[in-house]
């Protein structure tokens, strides 16, 4: 188990990519606090229990915690909860994100701001809150979930693209700032991943997307989770400020 006795926080961890990340970290010996603003099962305790059942025979601790990624106070409360219940914090995965797609001409100010608040400001709030325990122990791994559209852009997603491009820029800046404290900061830019969001697409839309993917298939949440595991482990100790594109070859 490459993450034995490590402690992590995963934001937006109750479904999709976030849930896969929680399970991958836990399978490798890491105890996890995962957040969401609303849980599929109705409560954070029940959601944590469900994940433990899926893992089978896991000795790690898993806790759900209700939090809004757009709240600085919630970010601080999450870190305090993790320190109290896990005994520390080694890994932060900033995964929480939403979409509010629409053409620029019709996009409301509210839809633009809400996406920026959760997707970008959320990364800032959680990273800042996590710095105290990480700097005190002179060790930490911060992994931000960005998107390939933050690199190449995408029509109808001005807010989402801006937020993910901001995450990429913040990753590089924070990596330079925190390297002297032995804190690694990297990002993953997923391509088209099979989640609740992509399940809503029509077959025609899916085929159009896959036409630009050399591997001719969508990725799975587990494809992202495995890269998170690598970036959380000692195998990535000499890597910081990098953007790992996981997209089946779409962006080359």
Catalytic (active-site) positions: 160
Instruction: Please report where in the chains the tokens 């890994």 appear, as a residue.
Output: 91
What gap in Å lies between CA 240 and CA 231, rounded to an integer?
Answer: 9
Q: How is residue 187 written in tokens? A: 């990002």
198 phi and psi angles, rounded to 5 deg: -75, -20
Return the residue matching tokens 């089946």: 248
How far apart are the C-alpha atoms of 225 and 194, rounded to whole Å? 13
- What three-state secondary structure class fits 227? helix
Cα–Cα distances in angstroms (integers) from residue 79 to residues 68, 75, 82, 183, 194, in the given order: 13, 6, 5, 16, 30
């Amino acid at each position: 188990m490459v993450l034995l006795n490590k402690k992590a926080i995963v934001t937006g961890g109750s479904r999709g990519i976030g849930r896969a990340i929680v399970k991958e970290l836990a399978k490798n010996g890491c105890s996890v606090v995962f957040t969401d603003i609303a849980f599929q099962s109705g409560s954070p305790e029940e959601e944590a229990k469900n994940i433990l059942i899926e893992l089978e025979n896991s000795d790690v601790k898993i806790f759900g915690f209700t939090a809004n990624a757009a709240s600085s106070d919630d970010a601080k409360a999450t870190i305090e909860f993790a320190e109290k219940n896990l005994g520390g914090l080694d890994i932060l995965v900033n995964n929480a994100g939403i979409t509010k797609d629409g053409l620029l001409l019709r996009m409301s100010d509210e839809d633009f701001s809400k996406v920026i608040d959760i997707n970008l400001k959320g990364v800032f709030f959680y990273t800042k809150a996590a710095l105290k325990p990480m700097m005190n122990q002179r060790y930490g791994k911060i992994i931000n979930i960005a998107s390939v559209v933050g690199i190449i852009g995408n029509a109808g997603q001005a807010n989402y693209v801006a937020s993910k491009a901001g995450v990429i820029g913040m990753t590089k800046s924070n990596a330079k700032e925190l390297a002297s404290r032995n804190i690694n900061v990297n990002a993953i830019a997923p391509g088209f991943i099979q989640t609740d969001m992509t399940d809503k697409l029509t077959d025609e839309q899916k085929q159009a997307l896959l036409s630009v993917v050399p591997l001719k298939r969508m990725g799975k949440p587990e494809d992202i989770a495995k890269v998170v595991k690598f970036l959380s482990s000692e195998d990535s100790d000499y890597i910081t400020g990098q953007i790992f594109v996981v997209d089946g070859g779409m962006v080359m």
